[in-house]
Amino acid sequence: MRPPWRHLQWLALAALVALPSLVEGSYYRYLGIIVFIYGIVAVGLNILAGYAGQFSLGHAALMAMGAYTTALLSKALAPIPFFQATGAHIWLGMAAGTAVAAVFGGLLALPALRVRGPYLAMVTIAFGWVIFKILQEWVSVTGGDLGIGSIPKVRVGPWMLQTNQFYYVVLALFVLALVFQYRLVHSPFGMRLRAMKHSELGVASVGVDVYRLKVLVFIVSAAFAGFGGTLFAHQQNYISPDNFQFFSSVFFLLAVLFGGAGTQMGPVIGAAVLTLLPEMLHDFDKFRLVVYGTFILLTLFFLPTGVMGLFERGGRQFRLVAPADGGTRAVAQPLSGLPDLAGAGASLELDRVSRAFGGLQALREVSFRVEAGTIHALIGPNGAGKTTLINVITGFYRADSGHILVDGQPVSLRSMSEAARHGIARTFQTIKLFGDMTVLEHVMVGFARHSRSGIWSALAGSRRSKEETLTTLTGARELIRFVGLEGFEDRPANALPYGHRRLLEIARALAVRPRLLLLDEPAAGLVAGEIQALAAVIRRLKATGMTVLLIEHHMDLVVSISDRVTVLDYGVVIANDTPARIQRDEKVIEAYLGQAHAAA
């Protein structure tokens, strides 16, 4: 999939390389350097906001951490003869600046773990404000409002880099930043990031530690910002708090949005346009905020996906495809061979499990056993506590009391991701897919539990990361075929018909290679043909030896495929028997239809 404008990048790069020799005077080189530096910061923010979906309005402060650290360190080390001779203090300062920013990025992630949306925006603004104020007030170190002057220029050995040479250095670093972004986004790690943007629960359900993922992405993003800050300090030779105000953070987020959040080249376009535009309108300095404000509004109204969003997504725009055959396609397709699933399924035993929400006792001493390798249905009227039970089994809720035993071993799970790592996978009553990510990508994310390549192998572009992508690609294709979604691999999930989304969620859960699969109302909202397809999939799962716990309202489906049925009512198990006998159980009929029918 190589879009034709791919070559445009190389053309643009060639133009940038040639630029200094084409134009006279250092002004344009200087502008180029600034664009590249802002571009590096914007790339970092793009990874965070565009790909991982975490807004930040505090990136100017992270840039400041880098700038001030390198300014102070390189100035302090400058008198030492060794550094005087080698110029290494500057490079040391830049490394330290990047590291300090990364550490603060990690700290910033801690509140971000618990809040989203406007709250996260506020946390990042407050963080930026605190840093800004500290720079202003800690005069003895930061020089207060006057800032820090005579920051050394970048040197290689005894050679001071002139603007012309520094231009190439920064250009190279900028290209490197883009390469890192490319590798990150195209790695298994990057796929998890993009998935998290759309559904944290969905990505946790396949064994991804969302907390860890968030902290890592904040650290990486902050490192980009901090590194940009160090370059900025050595370029300008003078920094003050004014360079790193709240409005600068707005500028960076605007650059990302305008260029196209979550696109490869977006931040480049954004940083370039937003830096050059005010320069061109130099005489209208009074209107700088008007320019930015208008730009934001126009972008949001007319370019909601940004400039690059028009191009990068242009190749795969799909409309909602209604199944021509009423959704029976999945059954019609012969399922070619079973993928290597878990092998032996696990047994599950619940021992007096209780859970209350405030005064509401959702589960009251629930005990039953799910035999290994069986299909066990859990039914009950709405509000009976079925989904709560699944949430407790998968560690999303903690049980107030009672024990959960998997294969006879008591387990104590603290999160859904931990459950997935124990081989317990689930689907959701309200589908939790990853927006416009493709069917194939969804299932590939599902393999996260088996992934051995993290962020570092992604950034390094290591062979392991690439090999893993290939293996999971093969595995994902098999699973997609298994649930009958072949031919839809490249469709964005949000363009799939509803029934196919349910199947996709199952395929994603299967990628966990679970020993126990929990399906939360998989047939809800499906038409008859789709339910048959679903039943076929579940039967095939049983054939692999997997244990399936199925919450369902469609009694036809329950009766036809389950080995045993447990009935919950008001958080209490009222029956636990074979489907045939459950259908005749008076207590069950009463729970569903009321006293009169039970008596009749």
Partner 1 sequence: MTRATAPAGPRERAPAVTSSSPAAIPLRMYFFLQIALSGLATGAIYGLIAVGYSLTFMTTKALNFALGMWVMLGGMLTFSLTVQYGVPPLVALPLILILMLALGAVAERFSVAPFLRAGSDVWVMSTLAVGLLMIDFAEIIWGRSPTPVPSFFGNAPVRIGALSILPQQLFIIAIACVVFFALDLFYRRTLTGKAFRAVAHSGEVSALMGINTRRVQVASYAAAAAFAGLAGFMVVPLTLAEPQMGTVLGLKAFAIAIIAGLAAPRGILVCGLAYGALEALISGYLYTGIRDILGFSLMILALSLKPEGLFGRPVEERA
The residues that touch partner 1, with contacts defined as CB under 8 A, are 55, 57, 110-111, 114-115, 117-119, 121-123, 125-127, 129-130, 133-134, 136-137, 145, 201, 241-243, 245-248, 250-251, 253-254, 257, 286-290, 292-297, 300-301, 304, 357, 387, 390-391, 394, 396, 416, 428, 430, 432
Q: How far is the CB of 493 from partner 1 (least distance, A)?
A: 16
CB-based burial, 264-275: b 16+ in 10 Å, e otherwise: bbbbbbbbbbbb
Contact 345, 372 (CB under 8 A): yes
Q: How far is the CB of 241 from partner 1 (least distance, A)?
A: 7
Token pair listed for 559: 């009766």
Q: Which is nearer to partner 1, 243 or 374 (CB)?
A: 243
Q: Which is nearer to partner 1, 85 or 300 (CB)?
A: 300
Token pair listed for 452: 């051995």
State whether residue 385 is helix, strand or coil: coil
Q: Which is nearer to partner 1, 298 or 593 (CB)?
A: 298
- Give the whole-angstrom CA distance, residue 410 versus residue 340: 27
Q: Which is nearer to partner 1, 117 or 408 (CB)?
A: 117
Q: How far is the CB of 147 from partner 1 (least distance, A)?
A: 11
Beta strand extents in 524-590 (DSSP E only) = 547-551, 564-569, 572-577
Q: How far is the CB of 203 from partner 1 (least distance, A)?
A: 12
First to last CA, the chain: 66
Q: In whole angstroms, how far apart are CA 7 and each of 12, 35, 40, 153?
A: 9, 21, 21, 35
Token pair listed for 442: 């969804």
Q: How far is the CB of 481 from partner 1 (least distance, A)?
A: 28
Amino acid, res. 142: T
- Give the whole-angstrom CA distance, residue 266 versus residue 259: 4
Q: Which is nearer to partner 1, 145 or 490 (CB)?
A: 145
Q: How far is the CB of 248 from partner 1 (least distance, A)?
A: 5
With a CB cutoff of 8 Å and minimum separation 6, the contacts of 10 are none
Q: 369 forms bridges with which residues in the sheet? A: 349
Q: How far is the CB of 385 from partner 1 (least distance, A)?
A: 14
- Give the whole-angstrom CA distance, residue 409 versus residue 253: 49
Contact 393, 418 (CB under 8 A): no
Q: Which is nearer to partner 1, 328 or 354 (CB)?
A: 354
Q: How far is the CB of 574 from partner 1 (least distance, A)?
A: 24
Q: Which is nearer to partner 1, 63 or 171 (CB)?
A: 63
Amino acid, res. 114: R
CB atoms within 10 A of CB 55: 21
Q: Which is nearer to partner 1, 311 or 396 (CB)?
A: 396
Q: How far is the CB of 286 from partner 1 (least distance, A)?
A: 7
Q: Which is nearer to partner 1, 430 or 474 (CB)?
A: 430
- Give the whole-angstrom CA distance, residue 454 versus residue 209: 12
Look at strands 516-520 and 424-426 and give their pairing: parallel
Q: Which is nearer to partner 1, 398 or 581 (CB)?
A: 398
Q: Which is nearer to partner 1, 141 or 289 (CB)?
A: 289
- Give the whole-angstrom CA distance, residue 358 versus residue 489: 44
Q: 548 forms bridges with which residues in the sheet? A: 375, 517
Q: How far is the CB of 300 from partner 1 (least distance, A)?
A: 5
Q: How far is the CB of 414 from partner 1 (least distance, A)?
A: 14
CB atoms within 10 A of CB 489: 17
Residue from 262, 198, 187 nearest 444 by CA: 187
- Give the whole-angstrom CA distance, residue 197 versus residue 436: 11
With a CB cutoff of 8 Å and minimum separation 6, the contacts of 159 are none
Q: Which is nearer to partner 1, 27 or 119 (CB)?
A: 119
The secondary structure of residue 377, as a DSSP letter, is: E
- Give the whole-angstrom CA distance, residue 101 versus residue 62: 5
Q: How far is the CB of 391 from partner 1 (least distance, A)?
A: 5
